[in-house]
Each structure stands twice: as C-alpha cells, then as structure tokens.
Amino acid sequence: QPPRPCEDYWWEWKHCRGLRHAFHHYYAHGELPACGRWREDYEACRAWERDRAAAAQEALCQSERARVMESQKYAPVWRLRKRPPPDWYLPLDQEK
C-alpha cells in the first residue's frame, strides 16, 4: 500500500498548478513552482496500485524520503531555552 492515497498526490498536483499558488510561489521565491514531481508521484502510485510494480514502489518511496528530508533541513529560527532569564520578573526599562 502506498504511503498516501493516490488522490492526495493528484490534489497536490492540482493545487500546485493553480493560479493562486503559482502567484504566491512566484512572489515568495521569484520563480514558478515545479509541479512535475507531484504528477510523477501520482503516476507511480497508480502503477503501484494497479500492477504492484516494484520500480514504481521504489520511486515513490524515494520521493517521499526526499520530501521528508527537504522539510527537515532547515534549522529552527529561535534558539530554545531551558529556563527563563534570571531577571524575567523585573519591569522593562521603557525610558531608554
């Protein structure tokens, strides 16, 4: 069984090709989104369900692994603290 239902890949591809998403992606990143990966994943998912193709299974699993690794490669923006600062209860200096 695929990691996600095949309809999820189809809807992700349709969303990626949508005008609103393309405009936002172009505004944020300066380029149009690459949606071919979602279409390839959808076709591999259908091949896996229909024919139980090992190549389609491996391609889909590789794509999912790459997607997870890509989402985990960014470090958190804020440094997490173990305890509050020692003077957290004092009022702030608003006059400065």
54 in any annotated domain: yes
> What's the rounded mean pLDDT across residues 50-54?
89
Using alpha carbons only, what angle is made at residue 70 by residues 72 and 75, rounded to the nearest 5 degrees? Answer: 35
Question: How many domains in the chain?
Answer: 1
Buried/exposed code over 71-84 (b: 16+ C-beta within 10 A; e: otherwise): eeeeeeeeeeeeee
Percent of the chain exceeding pLDDT 70 equals 98
Kindly report whether the global pTM for this prediction surpasses the value 0.75: no
| Residue 15, domain member (yes or no) | yes
Q: Binning pLDDT at 50, 70 and 90, where does residue 96 land? A: low
pLDDT of residue 95: 59
- Look at residue 82 and tell me if it is in a domain: no
Domain range for residue 25?
6-67
The predicted pLDDT at position 1 comes to: 76
> Is residue 56 situated within a structural domain?
yes
In a domain, 91, yes or no: no
Side chain identity, residue 10: W
Answer yes or no: is 26 within a domain.
yes
Residue 86 domain flag: no
